[in-house]
Amino acid sequence: MDGDGGGLVLYECRDKIATITLNRPDKLNAVSDEVVVHLADALNRFDLDPDAEVAIINGKGRAFSTGADVRQRQLRSREEFERLGGPQGRGSHSADLLTRAVNWKPVIAAVHGYVMGLSLGLTLECDLIVAAEGTRFQLTETSRGLGASRYWALFHFRGAGAFGDEIAFTGRFFTAEEGFKAGLFNRLAPEGKHLDVARELAAEVAKNPPLSIRTTVRTRRWYLERLTREAQFFAAPFKLYLTEDFHEAALAFAEKRQPRGFKGR
């Protein structure tokens, strides 16, 4: 298994299936700017790999990913936020990971442990999703003060409207079992078997003529990107990443304490 970015992301291809692994287990695969950049490189490598027809994204260790690296991406100075236009670093916007392809090959998310914030968005954007039983998901942007517009759109795109409304407004944890029942996920795997089930699903996809699959992938992602970009467009003028509430929520998380109250500004 080859590493990208000093081993932050691993890449392996066997039997037409590429396996892309988030490899920051000591941080529960928290996503830094560097992780996004190297994940983009791995996805581009897959897109151009003549031996790969389907990719599986997974995480090493106890969790798929606990989301954005709060200390790096959410505790920037106000000047940095204004210059970057948000928490993401230059060239490391996670919303672009699956929308800049050449060959439009399908990507399966195989998740376990915890899937939170940014990594929930990445999971929902993948073409197919396999979730291990007992996996816990959370839309942390709601409680963090960043808003859930993009995630709300992803839930609705996957046909889980009422469930998505509740999660977007409450930001509560939900389980793989709840998500599967709501129609968010394609397969529910026994605990510890998410990669095995994902490989079985990938093999089913890879049996088909590749160009046939790619036209569907490109169509799906075009509609998904249009919907999520529209949602972000409506939310953008609020510049929530510059609010006092967001700063307090991010600081409270980093300091492992409860927020000291929100002010609506």
- Alpha-carbon span 265 to 260, nearest angstrom: 14
Q: Kindly state the average pLDDT of the residues 41-54.
A: 98
Does 90 have pLDDT greater than 90?
Answer: no
> Which CATH code fits 2-192+206-254?
3.90.226.10
Hey, which residues are catalytic here?
141
What's the 3-state SS for 43-89?
A: HHHHHHCCCCCEEEEEECCCCCECCECHHHHCCCCHHHHHHHCCCCC
pLDDT digits (tens, 9 = 90+) for 222-246: 999 999 999 999 999 999 999 999 9
pLDDT digits (tens, 9 = 90+) for 59-88: 999 999 999 888 887 888 888 888 888 888
Please give the pLDDT value at position 228: 96
Does 4 have pLDDT greater than 60?
Answer: no
Domain boundaries, the chain: 2-192+206-254
Q: 195: how many CB neighbours lie within 10 A of its CB?
A: 17
**Which amino acid, residue 198?**
A
Handedness of CA 233, 235, 238, 240 (dihedral sign): negative
Please give the pLDDT value at position 70: 81
> 198: closest CA among 16, 57, 47, 3?
57
Could you give phi then psi for residue 175, rounded to 5 degrees? -100, 165
**149-157 and 161-170 helices, crossing angle to 10°:** 160
The pTM (predicted TM-score) of the whole model is 0.93
